[in-house]
Structure 1
Amino acid sequence: MARIDPRKVYDLSVDYFIGMPGWHAAGDPRYQIWMTHTPNGTKVDDPLGVGDRQNDHVSYTGTAFSMYSHTGTHIDALNHFGLNGKIWNNFDAKTHLGDRGWTKTGAETIPPIVARGLLLDIPAAKGLDMLPDGYRITKADIQATLIHQNVQLELGDVVLIRTGRMKEFSQAEKYMQNSPGLGIEAARYLVEEGGAMVLGADNLSFEAFPSEVEGNYVPVHTYLLAQQGAFILELVNLEELAADRIYEFAFIGASLKLKGADGSPMRPIAFPIHPTAPAR
């Protein structure tokens, strides 16, 4: 934090709106928002019993919303996917999952994240605005992008991968269809050789489909969450960072403390690291 340039802050989250992209293939609910109180409705109903005069003087607006926990910019908790009946740290659903959520690794256990952030703009390194549909990012792509941007991986990084897909975010169907994403070899390289603590991307699926591992339809998710204990960020808005070529920054983000949940909305921000500031 001592190295940041505070003159500009980058908001890495997306807007929430009816019709926004979401993971609905498995039947999860779409984002909805509705009014619970409006100035005119409050005057008609007088729910607080204060009378016409006060309702004319004091307007009252209230809203409610509902959504799947993996809607919009969010973080996957370590219980989101498991392998062979076990999630991270060998916790199992029979013992640790109740009707009110997980008693282990729930979203409330995710600490605030303050770390060095690193943007890997994969399409820019290839001379593209956006990766092609279904493109699977490889280890070689990661290495070429590091060279192109003249940056290095460091232990404990939050590595954010731009596919360019965020350009289609306002068009939900186009954004969701056959997204590019990370391959398992690239994920292993970033965590095991690069020392990344958290991986994220600007798409919703994070990894590319169909799976490259027989018998596992989400191998990147299970590798990171269940085997490595590395959190995943999805729907991270990286367009402004990429436009300004901000590749190294202070990442600050915290999720909602949703007890027992398998994921949570997050509003991460980034402060550029001043190029002349000494490392500490």
Structure 2
Amino acid sequence: MKAGIKVAASPFGPDDELGAVNFLAAAHQTNTLTRVDPAKVYDLSVDYFVGMPSFQAAGDPSYQIFMSHTPDGTVVDNLNGVGEQVNRNVCYSGDVVFLYTHTGTHIDALNHFGIDGHIYNGFSDREHLGSRNWTKGGVDVIPPIIARTVLLDIAKLKGVVCLEDSYAITVADIEDELSRTGLSINEGDVVFVRTGRMSYWPDGSKTLGNPPGLSLEAARWLTAQHISVVGADQECVEVGPSQHEDNWLPVHCHFLAEAGVPMIELLNLEELSADDVNEFCVIAAPVRLKGATGAPIRPVALRLT
């Protein structure tokens, strides 16, 4: 079975780099904020630490952190030139972080995946990819995300802690979950999908590899609702391995290159699920790494009244 995915032109014009994020209209955001219940804030991100589960199968580096300045080292080095007495009085610490931009809770930008040398809206690697980064579709153009969000808790729907490896979430699953919660998906909404994988975090042997996730048909059903952003509690949102012989990550290519929908991965949705929160306001903003294909993001959720 072939996916048959093609790069789409943006309905918002030839210069558009936002894609479906354009559906996050100011009026929609304002209406959502007026319904927020501030009594409890849910942090949907994970910690970054040495040895954390991360995607290294394609040769990308693991997360690393190093001290570049320590209080005692500053006294010895005296790199600031102020002398021993001052440096013993002022305890100076600093550090350096090294990571693949798709590590931990992060967002995929529209330039992350494309088809035949082109990304969303027809921008090409020949014209828009320099020696360091893309000049189009980077994570830096994604604005702060403030939106009504619907949690599709498919693990809870199925009555399991976690969906089985490589379970492909269907359109029927989504419809059954919306029927269970009595919710609908509207234009501009963010949709998060819970498989239960994060219940095993930080055990990398259980949180990564052969993930349950969205089938291509389910992904296409979601984008037909004009959602703005999609996310999941595993490493690629989609089911793995691919069900389509012509594409190893067809849902990535559909969301990013065909529908212009950014993807948030490795969300921690466990507390929301435990509290039966399926509708909420999400507030999130990626680190503005110029031209990058992804960046860490720290989403928070607040119930809606």
TM range (shorter): over 0.9
Give deviations 1:175-221, integer Å, cap 9, x for gaps: 113221111011011111x3311110000122112211221111100
- TM-score of the two chains, using structure 1 as the length reference: 0.95
Report how far residue 30 of structure 1 moved: 0.8
Matched, 1:222 2:253: yes
Q: Structure 1: where are the runs of 5+ without partners?
A: 275-280
Structure 1 CA distance for aligned equivalents of residues 183 and 52 of structure 2 = 34
Determine which of 158, 165, 170 is the counterpart of 1:138. 170
How much does 1:52 deviate? 2.2
Q: For this pair of structures, how many residues does the alignment match?
A: 273
1:270 pairs with 2:295: no
Whether 1:11 aligns to 2:65 is no
Per the alignment, residue 158 of structure 2 pairs with 126
Q: CA deviation at 1:56?
A: 2.1
d(CA) in 2 for partners of 1:97 and 1:178?
31
Partners of 2:120 and 2:112 in 1: CA distance: 10
Q: Once the two structures are aligned, what percentage of the paired residues are identical?
A: 52
Segments of structure 2 that go 5 or more residues without pairing to the other structure are: 1-32
Q: In the alignment, does 2:58 pair up with 1:58?
A: no
Alpha carbons 1:131, 1:163 under 8 Å: kept: yes
Q: Residue 40 of structure 1 aligns to which amino acid in structure 2?
A: D
Alignment-derived partner of residue 129 in structure 2:
97
| CA offset digits 1:67-108 (Å, max 9, x no partner) | 001011111110111012211001110011001211111111
Q: Encode CA deviations 1:11-66: one digit per residue, 9 max, x unaligned.
A: 11110001111111110111000111111111222221222222222111111011
1:206 equivalent among 233, 237, 258: 237
User: Which consecutive segments of 4 or more residues in structure 1 shift more than 6 A?
Assistant: none
Corresponding residue of 1:255: 286
Moved more, 12-21 or 40-49: 40-49
TM-score normalised according to structure 2 size: 0.87
8 Å contact 2:161–2:199 — kept in the other structure?
no
Q: Say if 2:266 is the partner of 1:235.
A: yes
Per the TM alignment, residue 155 of structure 1 is displaced from its structure 2 partner at its CA by 1.1
Any idea what SS the aligned residue of 1:98 has? coil
Counterpart-to-counterpart distance in 2, 1:4 and 1:260: 33
The CA RMSD over aligned residues, in Å, is: 1.1
1:28 to 2:60 alignment: yes
Task: Tell me if 1:164 matches 2:196.
Answer: yes
The SS at the match of 1:7 is: strand
Instruction: Tell me the CA shift for residue 244 of structure 1.
Output: 0.8
SS in 2 for 1:229: coil
Letter in 2 for 1:143: E
Rounded Cα–Cα distance in structure 2 between residues aligned with 1:44 and 1:86: 52
Moved more, 42-51 or 246-255: 42-51
8 Å CA contact 1:204, 1:234 repeated in 2? yes
The C-alpha deviation readout for 1:92-149, integer Å capped at 9, x for no partner, is 1001100121111111111111111111110101111111111111111111111112
